[in-house]
Structures are given as C-alpha cells and as structure tokens.
Amino acid sequence: MLSTVGMCGQRMPTLDRYMANTSQYARVELALATTLPAHHAARVFRWIGAFPWRAVTWFGTGHTVKWLDNPEDRAMRGGAGAVLLLEDPSPLVTRPEHRPPDTSGLSFQGDPVRWLWIVPITRPEHLFAKEHDSATLVEKLAAEGRSWVLG
C-alpha cells in the first residue's frame, strides 16, 4: 500500500460551489494498493496528488480522472486509461488478503480525512462511468471479478 502524506493539509478546492457543509469532504489522502515495486507505482502520485489544485476541482468517492499520458507511466498503468477513486473498495476485493485496511479516525484541523483508493480503469470503463455512474461501474467490475489492487 502506498499513500500520499500531507495532502489533507490543504482543503479541496471549489467544494463550496457544490455543498453548504464542506467539512466531510474537504480533506483527502490518496492511497494505492499494488503488487508493483513501490518506486514504480508511486509515480502516479506525482500527477494525481496535485490534480485538484491544478484543475481547480475536488476529489470524492466515485470520481474518475483520466490518466496522465506520459511515456514513463505507460508501462506501469498497462491498459488503464483512467482511475476511479473509491472510499471503500471492498466490492472489488478478490482475495481475503487484499482487504483494505481501516483508515478511519484521522482528522486535520477538525475536519475528518477521507482516504480515497486509486483503482485503475480502462478508457471504455471511464466512458461507462461517465455515461451511467461510478456505482454501476463498481457493480460491473465486481461482477467481472476485477480487483482494486494494481499489479
């Protein structure tokens, strides 16, 4: 498991445009479960960790983000064209030893911190999520036996 450290120190931008009480969604950390060597998989955080502030948007469970297309990440991401962010990847657990850890309990300046797991998805799956919704995509992936672990 890899994660960002300190991303929650800055509140997600633009939340006040979408909701009155932003406290529950304002602070996140991103995490990635992987069997790849850590130094390869950690590269995903270079672009996705700064994405909300660069794109002036926010991350929440079920959000999808098109994978940054650069040569050094192409081999690591395989056929993935995007990522799905999930607070609870349990529906995609395919092996008992791949259960997500309990990440509850962290708060920063009074706001709870939400851990969002990065789940690589293909470009067609990304389009499917946009056409339907991410919950339907998760159901589809679970029915296909898809794991949330990058590897």
Structural domain contains residue 98: yes
Within a domain: 149: no
**Domain presence at residue 20:** yes
Instruction: Please provide residue 134's backbone torsions phi and psi, each rounded to the nearest 5 degrees.
Output: -70, -30
Full residue range of the structural domain in which residue 16 is found:
2-143
Residue 31 domain-assigned (yes or no): yes
What's the pLDDT at 32? 94
Number of domains in the chain: 1
pLDDT, tens only, 48-58:
999 999 999 99
Distance in angstroms (rounded) separating the CA atoms of residues 147 and 144: 9
Q: Which of 96, 28, 22 is nearest to 65 (CA)?
A: 28
Q: Which residues of 60-90 are buried (b: 16+ CB within 10 A; e: fewer)?
A: bbbbbbebeeeeebeebbeebbbbbbbeebe
Q: What is the pLDDT of residues 100-132, one digit of tens each?
A: 999 999 999 999 999 999 999 999 999 999 999
